[in-house]
Amino acid sequence: MVVHTTATSNSVSVSPPGTRGNYRRFRVRTCGAAGEGYYSDWTVSGNTVRKNTLPTPPVSFAAAPTIYEGNIVTLTWSGAAPGTSAIKQYVIQRSTSTDGTNWSAYEALTIVISSLTSGTYTANASQIAGTYTRYRISVTDTLEAVSAYVVSGMVKKNSPPTAPAIVCPVSSASSYNTTPRFLIITGVEPDGQSQMVEVKIDAGAWINSVDNPERFSTSGYLGNGVKTVFQPETLASGSHSITIRCLDSDTASASPEVTRTFTILPTPFETITANETHVKTAHIQALRTAVNLSRSYYNLPPVAWSEEISAGKTAVKNWSVHITELRKAIEPIIAVINGFDSSSVFDVPPITWSPIGTGRPKAAVMNQLRELLLSL
């Protein structure tokens, strides 16, 4: 560059280095009025200039927890480095998604004033269940040079499990069993977490499949749509309620609660003693009532009996038919219980029916039916 002037001092603007980090120095000499062949010696500038080097963004930038239940997410970063100039601040932005694939444009979240190479920031997180959020961070130096962005992993607002299903009993059902079975299917956990089943009888304490495995046929943390049978401790006769919910494994976020009312009835059966009790029509009628009550508990239709039984009128030869009919009506109940889940816990043990014989049913035949119905 040639500057025409007769002054003994001056200043001029020149292009700085084009590549970041490169240095440049300058020199000047004077040409007299005698012509281009008469130059002074060169004078080299006493310092150099350098294209500012960008700061380096953090090596690590994380958002936690990955699945959150509360109101905040903690952002942490480390490994940033200044360029030519000192670090002045960090710029943090965020983007959201409903499916973890399609993301919104980044929006400004905050500016953290700091010269340190690491730091943390607590961000208010989305409270919309199922929303994914990711963050990015850049470094700005004192000359306003901005680094590239580094993107965090994504976090997600926890979605509670959907409500479990109570397959049995039906609402307002009754049972003679003082430790009745409850057939439960877990709901869906949208975040892919496992879930535990919690059960409460009346106003009692919650009992769950993790801490009380002896009460559940399939226990521990369960997946989606898992079948399990719950059996409580002995209950007194009278009206009761059962409340069931599922809690996810990471945040214990609870599903909607499902409630059933049910009644434990006192035994309707008279004790039948061999060689002492005379089996009567009332005994068979009590068994028929108990069978249909049990079928109703397990959501099975009532049986339409083949013949009405009347004292003094029912033929002796038909007693065996009535016993066989009772047994056939019980077998679907056992099939519902034993076929509900893959576990054999709380199943009805295999039955070898007592011989019916002829004439009035023997005490063993009647008591086998009685004991079985009290256990269903």
CB 177 within 8 A of CB 374: yes
Instruction: Give the C-alpha separation, 111 to 20, whole Å.
Output: 25
On whether both 191 and 101 belong to a single domain, the answer is no
Instruction: Give the C-alpha separation, 119 to 58, whole Å.
Output: 10
Residue 312 located in a structural domain: yes
Q: 22, 24, 30, 25: which is closest to 44 by C-alpha?
A: 25
**In the predicted model, what is the mean pLDDT of residues 67-94?**
95
Under DSSP, the state recorded for 162 is P
Of the ranges 84-98, 157-171, 264-278, which one carries the lowest mean pLDDT score? Answer: 264-278
**In the predicted model, what is the mean pLDDT of residues 83-101?**
95
Instruction: Give the C-alpha separation, 360 to 272, whole Å.
Output: 13
Which are the contacts of 13, defined by CB distance < 8 A and separation ≥ 6?
none
More confident residue, 155 or 250: 155
Residue 126 located in a structural domain: yes
Residue whose token pair is 């919309």: 128
* Cross-strand partners of 150: 137
On whether both 214 and 243 belong to a single domain, the answer is yes
On whether both 300 and 242 belong to a single domain, the answer is no
Residue 271 located in a structural domain: no
By residue range, what is the domain housing residue 321?
A: 281-375
Band (36; pLDDT cuts 50, 70, 90): low
More confident residue, 373 or 280: 373
Q: Tens of pLDDT along 168-209?
A: 999 999 999 999 999 999 999 998 899 999 999 999 999 999
On whether both 78 and 132 belong to a single domain, the answer is yes
Task: Give the pLDDT of residue 359.
Answer: 75
| Phi, psi dihedral angles at 353 (to 5 degrees) | -65, 140
Residue 290 scores a pLDDT above 90: yes
Residue 21 scores a pLDDT above 80: no
Choose the final residue of a domain: 51, 70, 92. 51
Residue-wise over 80-92: b if at least 16 C-beta within 10 A, else e?
A: bebbbbebbbbbb
Residue 44 located in a structural domain: yes
Beta strands in 98-202 (DSSP E): 107-113, 119-124, 132-141, 150-151, 155-157, 165-168, 173-175, 182-185, 195-201
On whether both 108 and 169 belong to a single domain, the answer is no
On whether both 180 and 117 belong to a single domain, the answer is no
On whether both 81 and 15 belong to a single domain, the answer is no
- Structurally, the chain folds into a number of domains equal to 4
Residue 179 located in a structural domain: yes
What are the counts of helices (DSSP H) followed by strands (DSSP E) for the chain?
Answer: 3, 21
> What burial class does residue 276 get, using C-beta atoms within 10 Å of its C-beta: 0-12 exposed, 13-18 middle, 19+ buried?
exposed
**In the predicted model, what is the mean pLDDT of residues 52-72?**
93
With the CA atoms of 231, 236, 240 and 241 taken in that order, what torsion angle do they form, in degrees rounded to the nearest 10?
-30
Task: Give the pLDDT of residue 326.
Answer: 95
On whether both 257 and 288 belong to a single domain, the answer is no
Residue 273 located in a structural domain: no
Residue 315 scores a pLDDT above 70: no
**In the predicted model, what is the mean pLDDT of residues 71-79?**
96
More confident residue, 22 or 170: 170
Band (1; pLDDT cuts 50, 70, 90): confident
Task: Give the pLDDT of residue 298.
Answer: 97
Q: Tens of pLDDT along 211-245?
A: 999 999 999 999 999 999 999 999 999 999 999 99
pTM: 0.75
Q: 364, 342, 363: which is closest to 353 by C-alpha?
A: 364
Question: What CATH number corresponds to the domain at position 83?
Answer: 2.60.40.10
Under DSSP, the state recorded for 119 is E
Choose the final residue of a domain: 208, 233, 264. 264
Residue 270 scores a pLDDT above 80: yes
On whether both 139 and 177 belong to a single domain, the answer is no
Cis check for the bond before 169: say yes or no (omega within 30 of 0): yes
On whether both 180 and 141 belong to a single domain, the answer is no
Q: What is the H or E stretch that residue 95 is in?
A: strand 87-97
Which are the contacts of 326, defined by CB distance < 8 A and separation ≥ 6?
284, 287, 288, 291, 369
On whether both 147 and 64 belong to a single domain, the answer is yes
Residue 269 located in a structural domain: no
Return the percentage of the chain with pLDDT > 70, whole number. 95
Residue 276 located in a structural domain: no
Q: How far is CA 217 from the centre of its chain?
A: 21
On whether both 127 and 144 belong to a single domain, the answer is yes
Band (309; pLDDT cuts 50, 70, 90): confident
Strand arrangement of the beta sheet that strand 195-201 belongs to? 173-175, 258-264, 238-248, 195-201, 207-208
**In the predicted model, what is the mean pLDDT of residues 298-310?**
90
